[in-house]
């Protein structure tokens, strides 16, 4: 039994099962919100990919820019799927053990992502340049 003070100084006694149920409801709502958020991200990124996909009659520079956008949207799409997999893993863990660990899996290093973005930007900037011109830009 847990007790708390209600407004007016009155002592309210709650059973432990009510407290546990309240925590379970809060976790359920949190998981549902997470799933809804990730699902919306997936849908919006997929729609963005579909919108960008057509490249008939476009200039090279426009296509190069869209390729970069597609890669960014795809990366975000993959992260959202990984987050859904993490939620599914947590639910399975709870189902098997009755507890959910609070530790989150480590995401790839930001430095690695920045290096990949730098490389992609360099590749986009070098589209249409001769190899000798590309070397000059790097120096």
Whether 121 is covered by a domain: the verdict is no
- Domain containing 43 equals 16-102
pLDDT computed for residue 90 by the predictor: 85
Number of domains present in the structure of the chain = 1
Mean pLDDT by 10 residues, the chain (139 residues): 56 65 84 89 87 78 85 88 89 79 57 71 70 57
For residue 55, being part of any structural domain is answered with yes
Residue 124 lies in a domain: no
Whole-prediction pTM: 0.51
66 found inside a domain: yes
| Contact indicator for 78, 86 with CB cutoff of 8 Å | no
- Residue 138 inside a domain? The answer is no
Which class for 34: exposed (0-12), middle (13-18), buried (19 or more C-beta within 10 A)? middle
Establish if 64 belongs to a structural domain: yes
How many Cβ atoms are within 10 Å of 83's Cβ, its own excluded? 19
* Structural domain includes residue 73: yes
């Amino acid at each position: 039994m847990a007790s708390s003070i209600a407004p007016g100084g009155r002592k309210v006694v709650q059973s432990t099962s009510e407290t546990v149920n309240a925590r379970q409801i809060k976790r359920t709502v949190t998981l549902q919100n997470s799933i809804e958020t990730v699902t919306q991200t997936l849908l919006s990124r997929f729609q963005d990919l579909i919108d960008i996909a057509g490249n008939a009659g476009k200039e090279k520079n426009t296509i190069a820019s869209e390729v970069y956008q597609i890669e960014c949207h795809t990366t975000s799409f993959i992260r959202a799927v990984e987050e859904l997999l993490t939620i599914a893993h947590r639910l399975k863990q709870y189902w098997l053990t009755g507890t959910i660990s609070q530790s989150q899996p480590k995401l790839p290093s930001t430095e690695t992502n920045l290096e990949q973005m730098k490389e992609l930007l360099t590749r986009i900037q070098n589209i249409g340049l001769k190899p000798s011109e590309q070397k000059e830009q790097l120096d």
